[in-house]
Every structure is written in structure tokens, then in C-alpha cells.
């Protein structure tokens, strides 16, 4: 334990208001809000930031929140948490489970906001230990890939100053108490695609008078499995997930169209383009095989870039995390297949560090089947699962990661 | 042209108020109502029956209508029209297209009500030509297979008398002006089945931590094709249609379950049981292949019986139709794969005749691709299609079929 | 029992050399020969016919046999048995099972030859009871659809006289002792189709450098299920069977092509054409979906016509069978999906009767699962099964069907 | 260019008999021999080695060849080439294409033998430049994974001495002139699996009396795509290839079983076990869905281990290759999905270096579609392709790699 940043971070967080932060977390978890509707969440965050002494602005890029703390000469450091929840029906059975039907904080953004709130308060209280400017950002609509770009387009940097460094973190499955870092590629690119299959509707008892889009969509989904299994080299990490299929209203009516929504993950633009070409080709071929009266519509939707940490920045932040939590808690997990719109905040040039904080309760981890880390990792509830339930004792550590990371890149006092 | 019934029918319908009936039809078509919500339709029918001199009762079995005309000694004949529309988005572009979004008279029940209204009025006006009792029934919820049974359960026969004969008819594709009759099996049995596939949800970028129910449901739908293609003899006419598939909400969330709704048509209980067993076996096998954490739920829903005309009754009715419209307009089409809950009104013992009236406009028929009747039949918009649009000039003939059919089984005056 | 033909037939067959015929049957069964290689079988048949007094010719249309017995004025009646076996590995475990690896009399043609031999001898011995000419034909290559046409093309009728009536019969599953007859359509049309899928081969560990024809062919086979399940009306009896699929040589080499061989059954040319068009469309679409470097080759092979009995002839023959075996043993089974090249002998104009003889041993039938005839019919070993094993006691009855049928259409003495 | 080994290697290979080696290569290519039948190839190699002064032994482990050259004190170095060809029908159109129908040197083992022959001769001729013992091994049956283990079991090291280092190389696609090396994992594990699907055979026109194994196997192959696409994390490089499917003999016979042969590639035992479990589960589920009368048989066949270079040895060899050919010709390609039985020679403890030599002719590479290395790599004919055709001018370089590699690990004179 040698660096000033690490020592200061431990000092500043030695007496965190853990009960208060847990209450905040449970409150956020009970009241999840979908993308761009994070009004209550934003209000809560803004109130806390203002109380901690930040100049606070709401409504940036829709429902975004910015808190600024100017504290003398020094670099500007942006700390970011995303705020939106997901259209998932919670199944955790927790006493503080979602009270909104069909909406859930299944990706841990409630924890991200809690962490950010705690860190912002601690850094403000300890402002005599550092110099520079803090931008604390509550970002909307990460799940839909819109929020970061909307905040930038709404003048985030013109209005509040361009940061020198960005820091972000994400809750992840894994035994609570690990801090995976990668000095380069850490998250993959993501692209949404929608396919509409046009058949010809009719009575369920007379399929011969129709072109059945339900059956066509089903064959299409099975055929799409070959994009990953046959068309990409084994080493080209990529995923094609059909997250949604929808067709028809009644047992005995053959509808006239079917809709398939899918998401791609890849680690290079070349692979992404190859996957898109394969999807178009397969959709075309399957609809031709079915005799569809019209070509399928294949529409490319939200796209997330790859998340590539600046090596120097991430090495600095990983080092301080190693000091704060122990060297064996920080390791390079290799690139994940998840995606973020966090890089949109970097405008292609601002260096950033983005890391994970594992949040699976110890007892859940231990009881999960499997002997190896990957086995258990696959067995515990992951992000977007209706059973995703981070461990409450990770609230303190997630505040410390932000505080120590910020201190490591700010100027000492 | 020899029988009294035929001659009288032509007399009674020689001066039908065609313009008024067309207006009625267009009004009903504009205002389609889903099963058990046929309030406006029932009110319209009841008003017309009352005006024509029938004792009229609404609300039988929910939204059913019964009109009774007691006209001396003689048999009791029940004339039935079904009244409900379908959850289909109309695409005919007609000036009198549905004004209710997502609901459409895509099965011609509006025409059935119009025919019944016209026939009830003509038979009432000509009551000096016959003896007996007419029961004119507007049945709800045929599409969901509930209406006939509900009317019976609500005391239809206890309250209004048990009929000696039932008569019913249905609009069907085919060049307007044909009257298909069969002296036995004319429509198939129908059974709805729902399947819920239980997977394990999670993030779209980490399928290895999930059991993907979307992909499982897609393979299931493709596998179900083999029930008809491999497990039934070619001569065993049967259909398995998946009318609806639904899973997931977002591109990048793997949901935890998928729902498949399907409908079977068969002509014997043995085949129906074999199909159900095959569906259960396939659902079980596919979920096992997928590694689903739970067995799929396979639930049998609405079931329609086979429609089997009483040979003597149907031969009598077919004969009078041949006299009224010409012998070459009546033919035996063989059993259709469609289904009806009309037989529920027969209680297993009341003889009945159920026939079709073709309603495809001549020009649509002629321009349809194909040289043979089956080819054209397959090419024109069929029942349940968003393009289903019966020919208005079939209004008069559909009144005459009911009037002549009723006179053929009532006593002469 | 009234007709002369029936009485005479019973007389002529009252003392059949059953042991000898059983030995003949077992010998033929032990030595099955594939289509157009029926040398041993043809020799055996020819020897027997010559011994019975027939003018005998071998090598007609390849390996065909013709025996002629001219017996005064009267009609010419052709009795036909097919002689070829199948590439099936016998699994009956019978003491007289096939001694040729991979070849088996799995369709009962050995029984047909035995029946014909017995009938030819009985009719020759009893030639004082009838007048006319008998043509006894051992036809090659029925399984490949080549034999009848080849015999005709080889001058069958120019060389031996054009018959007035054709008679043929086939062993079928069903409890031994039934004689299904239909006075019109009795067997379906059949068409073979071959599909070659062209992929691009390569190393199994690098599928991304290939277009995998194995996977493409597998999707194609699953997709072809929809031809029957979705594209034909339920009432249009039709079958599409993929009898053979073949691709690749080694676990880890992706081959460059795959071959699929299929067979269609239909009851009309229109349906056959629709099925062929659907197959072409699906093969094209699937290969397009796969990104195949070349279009698939879809080749139409052997085609069998429908078998349609002459109503008058078949009624006559069915009547005599009813007299000989009991009226309740003769019934109309409706059209079967099987196919024959027997109609090729009719040149589109010679009337014929073709019927079935059921040959499942009583104990096998009784122990088969199921309560109904169709259930048991589906459960016992059918033609082309490696377990197909006709009952030996049906040898006598199958001789009597031919003898009585022939006598019914020949002139009395 | 500094090391003695590099300088000596260039000296010893400055005057290679290229025309003779090309003739040897073309002769081997014309006469490919399947695994464990490499008699002619082994004889040719043995003759050359004997002529060059090696003590030569044939028939080691079947058809293996060992040449030994004892040259004073120093380490024993084993140079290995595999000798067997593949059951592939050559489609290169080369003047020296395979003369054996259905067998081809599609994996470059002919080139490996040629390289080894040239290197053995050069090292023997230059024996005054080094000290130690050379073991030159022509290994049979690499493709079937049997050869290395068979040679070891046949006393390879007891009879000829245990080597201190093993060296091996493999022809690979890529623009001729590159030498990919990896100081650790370079090739994947491979496992063959055979699946037999048991259906119930019968006549193609009566599928309802059968359980169709062709259709079942087709669904199985499509379902197996999900092992890679859904059950493994994107980062877990793995491949599942169905290299062979075979069922049925005739268009209209439904066979009683189908056979599927597949090959897995993985980089860890854990992933391999997960893939095997998924395959078993899917085969079981699909056969259950089909109603198969018996469980499928899933048999695990040949298994190749991972190939993991000794870091120190490979770094040494890579360094000398960089000196001989230029530093930019040596690079770390990351682990390949291909597999080798070469590690079987290491007995788990002998250090080895195994590298690639790219052999795609420059003009083929340049004309291949794509702008990036991976695109072109995917587009040119790869190993096991019927179009695989290494560039003849790579004969000299492949001799130099072996000579320089050997000199780098032998003692200097």
C-alpha cells in the first residue's frame, strides 16, 4: 500500500453512510424506470448531488443529470453511472423487488447510481485532498444505446467543460469482491436488427391458401444459428441472439407477418459487416423458400461501439484498485461480449477506464454448480436475468473504486 | 321446379329489400365486435326481429339473441347465424371497412346476420304459407367455440322450446352462386393447444448462461411440421397450424419463456388423440434437447366437434336449393377442414343441415391465378384473411337459402 | 356360391402342391435379386412355366419372362407378377432369410412369383374348363419403375399378342385373408426426385472458409416437411419422403456436396406439379440462404402413374373373390399411397383389375398394438421394412385369387 | 543476421536440388495413400534417407519410417513429417493431380515428406557443422489420430533413443513466405463423435407406419448448431462440424437408421466435456421428439490433444526463422482450430516446437476476394479442400525451416 491516492481513498471512505446508501439502493430498485423515462431516478440523484455541494443540472439529453464540482486547477474527471431499468418481470422475490409490473433493474444500474452518489459525496467532503474538476454524470438510456450520444448532442461538454478522463464501472456476475480490468478492448460492439417476414394470412385450416409467416420465421431463427456456428472462425468472438419473436394473435388464424428482433455482438467492424450480410442473405433465402409474396425487411437499429480502455489510464486505475482491495482482486478477464454506449462520451479521443465490480453474493456463488470460475459464472444469475440480485455489501466497495480511481487521475492537493 | 317449398320461397323473396339489407351489412361490417362482446350487433339483430314480429330475447348465453315466431302446429325449426368478428387488421380498402382498429369481420359473420335478418322478416311476412315455430338465433362467440354451448347452458331449449331441426350456413370462398352440401361429415374437428416453453433468461451477449426459449420455440415449430408430414397417413386429412408465437421484449434480452399457440383439425377422435400425443412428445423432446429447466406446459384449449349433417335433412334442404338456384349450383365438396361450434346446438341428437354459400365476386374469381377450381380456391382471399370481402349481390341468395330450407322442413299451411 | 368361375376355381385349386410352392417361395426369398438382375428368379419361373406346358420366352425387356398358353377362341388374359427385390438388409431372422447381404425380398415379389407359378400350373392343368389365351408374365424392375415399360418396348404385345384384360395382385399388410379391391383409383402416382446441394469443401475446423453442404442439406430436409404440412390442402392425399441422404466421408472434412433422394406420392398431376415446384423453390431458397456457390441440381427421376382399375373388370373380379373367400373378405380400402408400374402394361386403354392380398400372420396382427384396423395396420411390418414377413399359409389363397380372377374373365369351356 | 545456426542453415541449403525435390513432390502427390496404407510413400522416404546415410527402419507402428543419424555428442532432435492422404476427390486440375480415385493429398503431407527429405539430406551432407543425433520420422495416420501413438507404442524411443526436442511443421493457407509461430497453445483439441439414430423403416408412401430416421437426423444436425451458437461463451473458441451424414439407399424406402459423424474442436477439456454433454442431450431429445424406438448411440472416437509449444524451444526456433527469412515473416497467429497428433510424440514432457509454413501461391492470394488477411485466408482453398494446391516454390523454404530449426537446437560442431 504505497500511493497517496489509495491512502486518501481509504480515508475518505472509512466512514461511509452505508445504511443510508442501502436505503437509497432499495428505493431505486423498487422504482425502476425505462430508458428516457428515468424522471424519479434523476430527481433523486440530482437532489443528492446538490446537497453534496455540486452545481446540478437535470434534463441534459432528455433525463440526464450533471453535477459539477470545481475545485481549483487540475484535470477534469468525469464519473458516469447509467440510470435506466429494463422491461423484465422481476423474479427475485426480494422484499425490495420492483413495484412496477414488467420493469426491473435487472442490469444493476440502480447500484451504479448508488455507487456514484456515495462517491460524489465522499469526494466533495474530501475536496481538500485533491485539485481539479469533477463532472458526475447520471446518464439515461444506456440500454437502448441512446443516452450518451444524446447528452453529448445536448451540449454536455460545451455547457460543463470537456473532461480529460472518463471513468465508468459496471456490476457483473462473479463472487463479490473482484475488479476485472483490461488495458484495451473490454467490451464488444453491439447491433440491433429487426426482420419483418411478409407472408399471406388466412384461415388456420387452409394453410395451402396462405404463406405461413410463423413457420417461416421459425425456420429463419433456426437457420440464423449457422451465422455463428458456420460462418465465423472459432476465434472471432461473436454472438447472434434473437431476443424477440412475435407473430399472430389467435390459434387458428395464420397471420400475414412475423417479426424477429435480434442483437449481434462482435469485436470488429469487419465481423459485424459479415454477420449483417449473412443475416440479410439468410432472411432472403428463407423467405424465398417459403414463397413469400414480398422480400423480408431487414432493418439495422441501435448500434454500440467497442469499449477500448486507454492502456495508461486503465493501468493507473487498476493499480490503485489493487492497492485498495488487494492485488489478487484485480485481473484481466479478457474482452466481454457485453456492450456499452459509454464510449460515445469519449468522442473518439478522450482517454477512459471502464471496469467491472463483481456482485454475486458469496453464498450464491458457492452453491452454484460447477468447479471452475467459468462454470459458476455461467450458472449464477447474470445481468438481464429476472433473478439478477447484486449483493448489498458491495455498495461500499463500489464507492471506493470510484473514489480511488478519481483520486488516481486528479491532482493531489 | 316442382316442390311447394321452392315455389313459396321464391314468392316470399321475390321482392327483398335489398338496399336496406346491404346497408345493414355495411353497418355490421364497419362495426365488428369480438367474441362475447357482440352488444351492438345483438342489439341491431334483436331490434329487427322484434320489428318483424318475433318474441325477442337478448343476453342468452352472454350476448346471444333469440327470436321466436309461433305459427300453429308443426315442427320447430331453428335458424342460426353467428355474430362475432376476429382480431384481424382489415386490409380490404373497402369504403365500409372496419372502423375498429385490429378487429374485422374476416369470417363473414356480418353476412350471416344479414341473411338471417332478411330470412326472418320474409318468413314472418309469409307466415300464412307455413305452420310450426321458428327459432331465429344470433349466436355469440363462434370463433372461440364458446357461444353455442353457452346458449344451451343458459337454457336455450328450456326457455324457448327444443327444435326438431337446425339449419345453418356459412360464407365460403368460391365463385358467388354455389351451394355446397354434404349428406354427412362436412366440417372437421378443431382443437386449440397452447405450449409454454420454459427457458432461463439472461443477457443477449451471454447465451451460455441461459437456456434460450426463443430458439427452442423456433425449433419446436419446425419440428411440429412432422406431425402432419410424417406421423399421419396421407389419407387422414388433418392440419396443424401454429397461429401465434410470442417471446421476448427486447433485442438483447434472452427471455425466460416462449409461448406457442396452435390449432389442430382432424376428422376423427383417434387422429386428434394421435396428434395431441405427438405434440406432447415433440414439445417434451425439444425442451429436453434444449436443456430447459422445466418441462413445457402443453394445454388443450377450445375444442370444436366434427360437423356431421343428418343425411335425410341435408338431402331435403339440398334438393330445395337445387330447385331454387338450379341443380348445377348444388354439389358435394367433400368434408372441409374448417370447424364450427354449430353442432353443440344439436345436443348429439337433433338432426341438422349445415351448408356453404360461395361469396367470392365473379371478377375476383376469374382473375385469380390457376385453371382449376382448387387452384383458384387457394388463390382467392379466404376466411380469416385481412382481404376477405364477400360479394354484396350474394345477400339475396343467402336469404333465399334460409327461407327455402326452412320451408322445406316446416309444415305447409 | 353361384358362379361357374368360382366353382371351377375351387375345383382346380383343391389339391395345390402346397409343400412344393412353399419350397419355391423359400428358395426365392433366400435368393433375392435387384431390379434388372433377376436372372435366377426368371430362370426358375421360366422352367416352371415350360414344365406346365407354356410356350416360354426369357429376356423380354431385359430379364422378363413370358409364358403363353393358347387354348382356343376366347379373350387373351395377362397375369402378371413382378420379380425384383430391394436393397434392404433383412432383419426377420427367418431360417430362409436372404443369403445376399443388403438385398431382401422386402416387398413380397417372391410371393407374387410363387402365386403366379401355382396359378399358371393350375390353369394349365385345368385347360378343359376355359377357352382363350393366357399370357403369364414375370416382370422385372417394378421397384425402379422400369420393367413394365421395358417389356412393352421390347415388343411384348407384338410378339405375344395384345391382351384383352390384365390382372395383377400385391401382398399387403393386414390380417391374412382379406382381398381389398377398388373399382377405380387404387394406387397413387409416384415420382422420384434427386437434389444435389453444392457447397464448398474444406477442413472441419475452419467452417468459415467453406459453405457447408451437410448443414444445408439438413435444413433442406426439415424445410421440405412444409410441402405437405403447409402447401397442400389437408384433403389432397400426398406424401414427400426423403429416402436417402448422403454427404461426406470423414468426421473432420466438410465435403463439397450433399445428395438427397426423395419420393413423392400424389393422386393428381396438378398436385404432383405443385409439389415439384415447391421442392425446386425450397431447394433454391435454402441454397441461397447458405450462400452456395452454385444452384442446387433438382432432377426428376422415375415416375409411376396412378393405378386406376376398370370399374367393370374389377367388379367382376371382386365378385368372384367374394364367392371364393366369403363376401366379408372383400372390401374397398380406398386409394393407397403406394405406386405400381403395372399400369404401364395397359397402354392407357386395356382394362385391368389390380388388388391386394393381406399377408400379415394372424398372431402378429393380434399382438400389434392398437384397437382399430388403421392402428394395427400402422404397427405391423409393412412393405419395404426389413421385418416384412408374409404368412406362408397365404400361398394357397394367392393362387386361388389369380385362378378365379382369370376364369371370371376368360370364356367358359 | 547474427546466429551461427542461421548462417549455417543458409549455407547448407544454398544449393538445394530443387528440381529433384519438385519431382519427388509431384510423384507423392500423384500417389496419395490413406492412413496406415502409406506403403509406397514410406518406401520412397526410407530409400531417400538410406541413400543420405541414415540408419533406416520401416514398419514402425505400422507403416512408419525412422531414419537415425548419430553424429557425436549432443542432443537428440526428432524431425517429423506425417505421410497420409485423405479420402477427398481431387479437383485441382493439376497435371500432377492424384491418380487414385477418391484419395488426395489435400492436407499437404506430401509436401511435409518432401521438406523432410530435403532437410534430412542437407543436414547429413553438412554433418560437420553440428553435433548430436537426428531422428527423422515419417509418421503414418495423422489424419486418423493413430500414427504418433502407434509409433510410440511400437517402441520408437526404446529402439531409437528418446529425443530431447521435437520439431514439426505444417503447410497452411496464407501468402507463401510466412512462418507463424506461437510460444504456447498453437492447435486445438479434436474429438470425433458418431451418432446412430434408430428409427423404424418402411415404405416411403406410408411414413405413419415408420419412425423416419432421415428426418430425425436432419433435425438433429440443425439442432447441433446451437451447441456453438448458444451453449458456449463467444470467447470459448470451439467448432462442431458434421462431416458426414448417411442414411437410406432408395428414394422410396424409409430406412431404419441414420448415421451422423461429427468432429469437435476446443481449447480446453472443460469445453470439450460440455460439448459432449450437449451433443448427448440433443441427440437424446431429438430422438425422443421423433418417437424413436431406441435411444441413439453416441460414440466418442478419435481424440487429439491440444498442441502446446514449449515457450523456450519455440522462441529459439522462431528466432532462427526470423533470421533466415526476415523478421516480418514470423508472427504469432494465435491458436488455430486445427488439431494434430504430433503432441502424442512428446509423452507429456519432451519440449517441442510446431509451426506453420504458408503455401498459397501469391497470385491465388492476391486474386482472392477480401481486403484483410482473415478475409483472404477464408477465401483461398484451405487444407482438406479438393482445391488445396500448395505453391511449388515453397519447397526450398520448408527445407530451410527444418534445417535452421534443427541447427538451432543441436550443438554446434
Residues 6+ apart with CB under 8 A from C186: C307, C308, C309, C335, C336, C354, C355
- The answer, yes or no, to whether residue A337 has pLDDT greater than 90, is no
Radius of gyration of chain C (CA): 23
Is A371 at the interface with chain C, CB within 8 A?
no
Q: Nearest CA to CA, how far is A376 from chain B (Å)?
A: 9
Alpha carbon distance C217, D177 (integer Å):
38
So what's the pLDDT on residue A105? 98
Is the pLDDT at D223 greater than 60? The verdict is yes
pLDDT at C379: 83
Beta carbons of D284 and B282 less than 8 Å apart: no
3-state secondary structure at position B407: helix
Chain B residues with CB under 8 Å of D208 CB are 230-233, 236
pLDDT tens across the length of chain B (413 residues)? 579 999 999 999 999 999 999 999 999 999 999 999 999 999 999 999 999 999 999 999 999 999 999 999 999 999 999 999 999 999 999 999 999 999 999 999 999 999 999 999 999 999 999 999 999 999 999 999 999 999 999 999 999 999 999 999 999 999 999 999 999 999 999 999 999 999 999 989 999 999 999 999 999 999 999 999 999 998 899 999 999 999 999 999 999 999 999 999 999 889 999 999 999 999 999 999 999 999 999 999 989 999 999 999 999 999 999 999 999 999 998 888 889 999 999 999 999 999 999 999 999 999 998 887 777 887 899 899 999 999 999 999 999 999 999 999 998 77
Residues of B in contact with C378 (CB under 8 A): 233
Taking an 8 Å cut-off on Cβ atoms, the answer to whether B286 and D290 are in contact is no
In this predicted structure, what is the pLDDT of residue D334?
A: 80
C207 close to A (CB below 8 A): yes
Cβ separation of D246 and C242 shorter than 8 Å?
no
On average, the pLDDT of chain D sits at 95
pLDDT digits (tens, 9 = 90+) for C7-57: 999 999 999 999 999 999 999 999 999 999 999 999 999 999 999 999 999
**Residue that has been written with the C-alpha cell 400426398 in this structure:** C238
Give strand pairing partners of C315.
none
Q: Locate the DSSP E strands across C116-206.
A: 130-139, 165-175, 185-187, 189-198, 202-203
User: B219 in contact with D at a CB cutoff of 8 Å?
Assistant: yes
Query: Does position A244 have pLDDT exceeding 70, yes or no?
Result: yes
Q: Which of B242, B255, B383 sits opposite A215 (nearest CB)?
A: B242
Best residue in D275, D286, D289 for a mutation probing chain B (most B CBs within 10 Å):
D289
Residue C351's pLDDT band, with cuts at 50, 70 and 90, is very high
Give the nearest chain C residue to A224 (CA atoms).
C289
Minimal C-alpha gap between C238 and chain A (Å): 13
Helical H runs in C207-257?
Answer: 213-230
Q: What is the pLDDT of residue B302?
A: 87
- Do the chains contact at A86 and B253, CB–CB below 8 Å? yes
CB contact under 8 A, D337 and A230: no
pLDDT at D353 over 60: yes
- Between CA B113 and CA C363 the distance in angstroms is 58
Q: What is the pLDDT of residues D330-346, one digit of tens each?
A: 999 888 888 899 999 99
| Burial per residue of B154-172, b for 16 or more beta-carbon CB atoms within 10 angstroms, e otherwise | eebbeebeebbbbbbbbbb
Of B187, B83, B70, nearest in space to B137 by CA: B83
Strand intervals (E) in D108-158: 130-139
Contact D139, D82 (CB under 8 A): yes
- Which of the two residues, A402 and C235, has the higher pLDDT score? A402
Task: Tell if the CB–CB gap between C242 and D383 is shorter than 8 Å.
Answer: no
Contact between D336 and C205 under an 8 Å Cβ cutoff? The reply is: yes
pLDDT of residue B287: 98
| pLDDT for res A379 | 83
Question: D268: pLDDT confidence band, cut at 50, 70 and 90?
Answer: confident
CB contact under 8 A, B229 and C233: no
Confidence (pLDDT) at A158:
97
Contact B281 D289 (CB under 8 A): yes
State how far residue C246 is from chain A, nearest Cα, in angstroms.
Answer: 20
Evaluate the CA torsion angle D82, D87, D93, D95 in order and state its sign. Answer: positive
Per the CB < 8 Å rule, is D227 touching A225?
Answer: no
pLDDT > 60? residue D172? yes
Kind plus residue range of the DSSP H or E element containing C59: strand C55-60
Can you tell me the mean pLDDT for A227-235? 94
Residues of D in contact with B276 (CB under 8 A): none
CB A402 within 8 A of CB A106: no
Cβ-defined contact of A288 to C285 (cutoff 8 Å): yes
Query: What is the DSSP annotation of D213-257?
Result: HHHHHHHHHHHHHHHHHHSS-TTS--EEEEEEEEE-SSTTEE-SE
The 3-state secondary structure of C268-330 reads CHHHHHHHHHHHHHHHHHHHHHHCCCCCCEEEEEEEECCEECCHHHHHHHHHHHHHHHCHHHC
CB B219 to CB D219 under 8 A? yes
Predicted pLDDT at B344: 95
**Cβ count within 10 A of residue A359:** 27
Q: Percent of chain A having pLDDT more than 70?
A: 100
pLDDT tens readout for residues D243-260: 999 999 999 999 999 999
| Mean pLDDT along residues C73-94 | 96
> What does the pLDDT average to over A71-83?
97
Distances (CA, A) of C412 to A278, C78, C284, C317: 76, 17, 60, 15
Q: What pLDDT score does C371 carry?
A: 80
Q: Give me the pLDDT at residue D382, please.
A: 87
Q: Measured between alpha carbons, how far is D20 from B39 in angstroms, rounded to an integer? A: 97
Contact D286 B289 (CB under 8 A): yes
Touching C: which chains, 3+ CB pairs < 8 A?
A, B, D
Contact status of B56 with chain A (Cβ, < 8 Å): no
- Chain C residues lying within 8 Å of D214, measured CB to CB: 221, 242-245
d(CA C181, CA C183): 7
Measured in whole angstroms, how far is the alpha carbon of residue D90 from the centre of its chain?
Answer: 18
> Which residues have C-beta within 8 Å of that of residue A400, sequence separation ≥ 6?
A9, A10, A13, A324, A325
H-only helix segments in C13-135: 18-30, 39-51, 109-125
D291/B281 CB distance under 8 A:
yes
Shortest Cα distance from A324 to chain B (angstroms)?
A: 30
B219 touches chain A (CB under 8 A): yes
pLDDT band at D302 (very low <50, low <70, confident <90, very high): confident
- Confidence class of residue C382 from pLDDT cuts 50, 70 and 90? confident
Cβ of B222 within 8 Å of Cβ of A217? The answer is: no
C-alpha distance from B277 to closest chain C C-alpha (Å): 14
- Give the mean model confidence (pLDDT) for residues A78-103: 96
Task: List residues bridging with C329 in a β-sheet.
Answer: none
Chain B, window 228-247: residues with a beta carbon less than 8 angstroms from a chain C beta carbon: 228-230, 233-235, 237-240
> Within an 8 Å CB–CB cutoff, is residue A225 touching chain D?
yes
Read off the pLDDT of residues D197-207 as tens digits, 9 standing for 90 and up: 999 999 899 99
The answer to whether the annotation marks D143 as part of a ligand binding site is yes
Query: What's residue B40's pLDDT?
Result: 98
Is pLDDT at A397 greater than 80 in this prediction? yes
- A385-388 contacts: CB < 8 A, separation 24 or more? A385/A88, A385/A106, A385/B200, A385/B201, A385/B202, A385/B203, A385/B209, A385/B210, A385/B256, A386/A88, A386/A89, A386/A90, A386/A91, A386/A92, A386/A104, A386/A106, A386/B201, A386/B256, A387/A91, A387/A92, A388/A92, A388/A106, A388/A107, A388/A108
Distance CA A357, CA A378 (A): 17
Least confident of A114-118, A332-336, A404-408: A332-336
| Chain C: closest CA distance from residue B391 (Å) | 24
Q: Which H, E and C letters describe B239-258, residue by residue? A: EEEEEEEEECCCCCEECCEE
- CA of A58: how far to CAs of A43, A46, A82, A379, in Å? 8, 7, 14, 39
The C-alpha atoms of residue A222 and residue B251 are separated, in whole angstroms, by 16
Phi, psi dihedrals of residue A263, rounded to the nearest 5°: -135, 135
Nearest to C382 among D173, D209, D250 (CB): D209
pLDDT at D398: 98
Confidence of residue D261 (pLDDT cuts 50, 70, 90): very high
Closest in D232, D285, D291 to B286, CB measured = D285
Q: Which chains touch D (3+ CB pairs under 8 A)?
A: A, B, C
Give the pLDDT mean for D39-44: 98
pLDDT band at C331 (very low <50, low <70, confident <90, very high): very high
Contacts A278 to C, Cβ<8 Å: 291
pLDDT at D188: 92
Burial of C45 (0-12, 13-18, 19+ CB in 10 A): buried
Least CA distance to C234: which residue of chain B? B237
Would the CB atoms of A263 and B244 count as touching at under 8 Å?
no
Q: Which of D208, D229, D289 sits opposite B223 (nearest CB)?
A: D289
**Residue D203 is assigned to a ligand binding site:** no
Using the predicted structure, report yes or no on whether residue C334 has a pLDDT greater than 90.
no
CA distance D56 to C255: 38
Closest chain C residue by Cα to residue A220: C289
Contact (Cβ atoms closer than 8 angstroms) between residue C32 and residue C100: yes
Q: Is the pLDDT of residue D354 over 80?
A: yes
Compute the mean pLDDT over every residue in chain C, rounded to the nearest whole number: 95
The whole-angstrom distance between D105's CA and the closest CA on chain B is 38
State whether residue A389 sits within 8 Å of chain B by CB. no
Find cell 488495458 and name the residue. A183
Q: Which of C188, C235, C238 sits opposite B334 (nearest CB)?
A: C235
Q: Given A91, A209, A243, which is nearest B252 (Cβ)?
A: A243
ipTM over 0.90 threshold: no
Question: Residue D67 has what DSSP assignment?
Answer: E
> Which of C84, C223, C243 should one mutate to test binding to chain D, selecting the residue with the greatest count of D CBs within 10 A?
C243
Residues A15-59 pLDDT 10s:
999 999 999 999 999 999 999 999 999 999 999 999 999 999 999
Amino acid at each position: 500500500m504505497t500511493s497517496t491516492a489509495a491512502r486518501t481513498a481509504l480515508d475518505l471512505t472509512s466512514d461511509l453512510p452505508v445504511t443510508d446508501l442501502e436505503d437509497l439502493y432499495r428505493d431505486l430498485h423498487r422504482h425502476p424506470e425505462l430508458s428516457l423515462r428515468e424522471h424519479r431516478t434523476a430527481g433523486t440523484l440530482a437532489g443528492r448531488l446538490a446537497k453534496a455541494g455540486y452545481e446540478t443540472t437535470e434534463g441534459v439529453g432528455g433525463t440526464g443529470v450533471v453535477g459539477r464540482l470545481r475545485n481549483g486547477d487540475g484535470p477534469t474527471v468525469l464519473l458516469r453511472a447509467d440510470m435506466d431499468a429494463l422491461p423484465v418481470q422481476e423474479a427475485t422475490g426480494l422484499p425490495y423487488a420492483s413495484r412496477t409490473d414488467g420493469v426491473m433493474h435487472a442490469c444493476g444500474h440502480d447500484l451504479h447510481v448508488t455507487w456514484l452518489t456515495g462517491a460524489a459525496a465522499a469526494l466533495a467532503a474530501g475536496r481538500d485532498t485533491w485539485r481539479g474538476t469533477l463532472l458526475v454524470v447520471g446518464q439515461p438510456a444506456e440500454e437502448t444505446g441512446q443516452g450518451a450520444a444524446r447528452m453529448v448532442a445536448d451540449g454536455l461538454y460545451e455547457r460543463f467543460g470537456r473532461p480529460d478522463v472518463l471513468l465508468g464501472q459496471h456490476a457483473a456476475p462473479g463472487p463479490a469482491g473482484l475488479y476485472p480490468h483490461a488495458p484495451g478492448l473490454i467490451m464488444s460492439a453491439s447491433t440491433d436488427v429487426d426482420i419483418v417476414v411478409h407472408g399471406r394470412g388466412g384461415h388456420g385450416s387452409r394453410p395451402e391458401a396462405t404463406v405461413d409467416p410463423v413457420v417461416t420465421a421459425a425456420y429463419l431463427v433456426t437457420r440464423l444459428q449457422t451465422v455463428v456456428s458456420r460462418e465465423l472462425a472459432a476465434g472471432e468472438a461473436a454472438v447472434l441472439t434473437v431476443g424477440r419473436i412475435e407473430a399472430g394473435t389467435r390459434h387458428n388464424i395464420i397471420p400475414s407477418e412475423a417479426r424477429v428482433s435480434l442483437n449481434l455482438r462482435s469485436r470488429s467492424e469487419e465481423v459485424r459487416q459479415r454477420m449483417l450480410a449473412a443475416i440479410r442473405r439468410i432472411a432472403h433465402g428463407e423467405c424465398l423458400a417459403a414463397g413469400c409474396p414480398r422480400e423480408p425487411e431487414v432493418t439495422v437499429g441501435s448500434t454500440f461501439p467497442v469499449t477500448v480502455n486507454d492502456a495508461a489510464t486503465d493501468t493507473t486505475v487498476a493499480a490503485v484498485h489493487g492497492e485498495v482491495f488487494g492485488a489478487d482482486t484485480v485481473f484481466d478477464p479478457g474482452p466481454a461480449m457485453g456492450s456499452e454506449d459509454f464510449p460515445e462520451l469519449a468522442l473518439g479521443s478522450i482517454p477512459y477506464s471502464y471496469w467491472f465490480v463483481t456482485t454475486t453474493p458469496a453464498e450464491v456463488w458457492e452453491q452454484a454448480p460447477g468447479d471452475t470460475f467459468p462454470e459458476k459464472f455461467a450458472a449464477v444469475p447474470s445481468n438481464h436475468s429476472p433473478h439478477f440480485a447484486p449483493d448489498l455489501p458491495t455498495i461500499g466497495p463500489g464507492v471506493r473504486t470510484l473514489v480511488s480511481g478519481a483520486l488516481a487521475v486528479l491532482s493531489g492537493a
